[in-house]
Structure 1
């Protein structure tokens, strides 16, 4: 029965990956993929890896809350601060800061899933990856590398395979972005462990220094600084 359930899960993953590819990254389909993996063996391993990190078990057992940002307040913080930079990104992209799917946090897997989902755009800010498709692959690669978050592992792998098969002209840049994200993942502290809300006023540069992000992606072709200077 377990093997059959995992087979069905795998088939559903493939269907969801295809839907994400066709839609160019529909957030609903991404959330469906994330939810399809919450009770999987891969998510259980992700939880184990997170708990094994210094401070991971404490954060998880205390159910440190998923992010609930107040964009109007954060945008008032000094330029260059984490809070201002995050709020500016959300406003530039015209995002609803609470676009993420509400989930209970009654289990370790659900809590970790929701914490990662709600803080994902902060990872863009501190790592410097842009929010277009190639930049997304880079920033997802960080969490995929650091704790093996299942949906991000699948998305980065599937993105490279699809590009190699169907979009060779962008494969080199996509591969560079993923490699860059994995390099940050290997060298930096785990981003999923950071208590961002306790340091909104701190400069992004200070956060990067603390986390060990010595080669942010800002000025790469897939970086935030490059994207922000493009028209439109």
Structure 2
């Protein structure tokens, strides 16, 4: 039964990836891909990798509260702080900070999936990645490397293949993004276990220094959020 379920999951994943490759898809398609992995063997491995990180087990067991930033309040924090930088990014790009798909957190996989989805944009700020395709690939690569989040692994494989097959001029930038994200993922303290909400006032440069994050500086993947 498990093999049949995983086969069906793979078929559905291929359909989602095909749609993303053809039209670029959207947040709903990405969320569908993420959700399709929630009860998968790959997600089970990802959860165990997260649990083994310092502080990971505690976060899972306490079901650390969902990420719900108050952007208006964060804008009032000192310039240069993480909170001010995050709010500035949300405002500048006209993002809805609550765009992510609502999920319950009744299982470890659901909680981890929701935590990753809701804190994704903070990783942009911490890593200095822009929100263009190459910058997105860089951010995805961090979590893919640090805990093997399956949907992000597939999305970066798709980004590389799509660049080779359909947009070869974008391959260099995509490669830079993924390579730098992998570097952060391998060298930095895991971003997925950070309690960002408890350090909004901390200067962004201090967060980066403490985590060991080397900021992206390639013109096609970098952005200044300070």
After TM superposition, the score normalised by the length of structure 2 is 0.96
Please state how far the C-alpha of 1:219 moved relative to its aligned partner. 5.3
Which stretch shifts more, 162-171 or 146-155?
Answer: 162-171
Q: Distance in 2 between matches of 1:193 and 1:186?
A: 15
Note the 1:92-131 alignment, pairs <5 A.
Answer: 92-131=92-131
**Structure 2 equivalent of residue 73 of structure 1:** 73
Q: Distance in 2 between matches of 1:218 and 1:69?
A: 27
5+ residue gaps, structure 1, are: none
CA contact (8 A) 2:134 2:176 kept: no
CA contact (8 A) 1:127 1:218 kept: no
**Structure 1 equivalent of residue 220 of structure 2:** 221
**Structure 1 equivalent of residue 56 of structure 2:** 56
Q: Distance in 1 between matches of 2:20 and 2:79?
A: 35
* Structure 1 residues 107-138: Cα deviation after superposition (integer angstroms, max 9, x where no partner): 00000000000000000000001011110001
**Cα RMSD over matched residues?**
1.2
Q: Distance in 1 between matches of 2:8 and 2:72?
A: 44
* Structure 1 residues 169-227: Cα deviation after superposition (integer angstroms, max 9, x where no partner): 111111111001000100001100000000001111010011111x21155321113xx
**Structure 2 equivalent of residue 83 of structure 1:** 83
**Structure 2 equivalent of residue 152 of structure 1:** 152
Q: Distance in 2 between matches of 1:151 and 1:3?
A: 19
Q: Distance in 2 between matches of 1:2 and 1:64?
A: 30
How many pairs align? 225
**Structure 1 equivalent of residue 182 of structure 2:** 182
The structure 1 segments of at least 4 consecutive aligned residues displaced by more than 3 Å after TM superposition are none
* Structure 1 residues 24-75: Cα deviation after superposition (integer angstroms, max 9, x where no partner): 2500000000000000000000000000011110111110112101000001
CA contact (8 A) 2:176 2:218 kept: no
Q: Distance in 1 between matches of 2:106 and 2:20?
A: 28
Q: Distance in 2 between matches of 1:123 and 1:55?
A: 18
5+ residue gaps, structure 2, are: none
Q: Distance in 2 between matches of 1:24 and 1:76?
A: 36
**Structure 2 equivalent of residue 197 of structure 1:** 197
Q: Distance in 2 between matches of 1:33 and 1:92?
A: 28
Please state how far the C-alpha of 1:161 moved relative to its aligned partner. 1.3
CA contact (8 A) 2:139 2:181 kept: yes
**Structure 1 equivalent of residue 207 of structure 2:** 207
Q: Distance in 2 between matches of 1:176 and 1:100?
A: 27
